[in-house]
């Protein structure tokens, strides 16, 4: 067995999961995809779009957590706490210790993260988590 002290990882430390509805527009169930949805969705950041419903996080939105699995009944499992790796947005600064908000990638695809713009008052009320080593973050 490999020595766990030889690598740094916060992945799933203190993980908590919750069930949400999917918006069935940005996040869509696919019976043929691993995790029940396209790879452009699974493992990406999600935000609330309505009461109890999530979609992919857009620029500056509150990140609820990481999309883990999508079910055929239009529900999904989201990791809402604990260490998790989320993809960085287009040109996103990911400075250790900074809080995060949603972001888009170079193709304007949602579901990514960036550090909060501390000069933007509205974002300060939406930021959470913390960027950890290896771009791991822990929304809490």
Instruction: Give the model confidence (pLDDT) of 79-114 as tens digits.
Output: 999 989 899 988 777 888 888 999 999 889 999 999
Rounded to whole angstroms, the Cα distance separating 128 from 57 reads 13
Distance of CA 9 to the CA centre of its chain: 17
**Cα 114 to Cα 103: distance, rounded to the nearest angstrom:** 6
pLDDT digits (tens, 9 = 90+) for 47-69: 999 899 999 999 999 999 999 99
Question: Structural domain boundaries of the chain?
Answer: 16-83, 85-137
Question: Which of left, alpha, beta for 97 (phi over 0: left; psi -120 to 50: alpha)?
Answer: left
85 vs 127, more confident: 85
Which helix (H) or strand (E) segment holds residue 123: the answer is: helix 121-124
């Amino acid at each position: 067995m490999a020595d766990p002290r030889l690598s740094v990882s916060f992945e799933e430390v203190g993980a908590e999961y919750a069930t949400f509805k999917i918006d069935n527009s940005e996040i869509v169930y696919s019976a043929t995809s691993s995790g029940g949805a396209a790879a452009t969705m699974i493992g990406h950041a999600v935000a609330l779009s309505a009461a109890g419903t999530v979609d992919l996080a857009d620029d500056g939105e509150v990140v609820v957590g990481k999309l883990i699995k999508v079910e055929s009944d239009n529900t999904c499992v989201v990791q809402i706490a604990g260490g998790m790796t989320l993809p960085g947005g287009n040109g996103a600064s990911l400075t250790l210790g900074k809080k995060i908000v949603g972001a888009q990638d170079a193709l304007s695809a949602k579901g990514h993260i960036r550090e909060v713009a501390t000069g933007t008052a509205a974002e300060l009320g939406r930021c959470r988590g913390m960027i950890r080593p290896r771009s791991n973050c822990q929304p809490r």
